[in-house]
Structures are given as C-alpha cells and as structure tokens.
Amino acid sequence: TTAATLERFTVNFTITNLPYTSDLENPDSARFRATQRVMNTLLDRLLKESSIGPVFQGCETTDFRYG
C-alpha cells in the first residue's frame, strides 16, 4: 500500500455577523483566540460530515481580515 498524500487548501469566506475589530489582527489577543477556537470547531464539524470527511485531518484558522 502507499501512504496517503496530504493536501492543503485555503477557504476564504465572509462572516456577516462578526464585526471586524483590530484585535482580530493579533493572534495573541483573547478575541482572536476565542474566534479561532469557534471557527476551527465549526469548520472541523462541517468538513468531517462532508464528502471529504473520511480523509479530513483538521483545519487551522490562520487569520481574520473580511473591513
């Protein structure tokens, strides 16, 4: 058997009910970390239930920007 190859991809979208504030620019801020935690949880749940679910390894929110 051959080992599976991991593929990285980027998803960009707009969250219309989350007002952008400057503390979302700082990965060390409490607001960034809390928002990142929520986004990772929701995206993980969504993608695990999708057609890529069997091979899905997880997601990582890297930044917020969408003012």
What are the tens digits of pLDDT across the range 26-66?
999 999 999 999 999 999 999 999 998 988 888 899 999 87
Q: Does position 14 have pLDDT exceeding 90, yes or no?
A: no
CB 17, CB 38: distance < 8 Å: no
Domain ranges (residues) in the chain: 22-55
Structure tokens at 21: 């504030």
Residue in this structure with the two tokens 């969504």, named with its chain if needed: 46
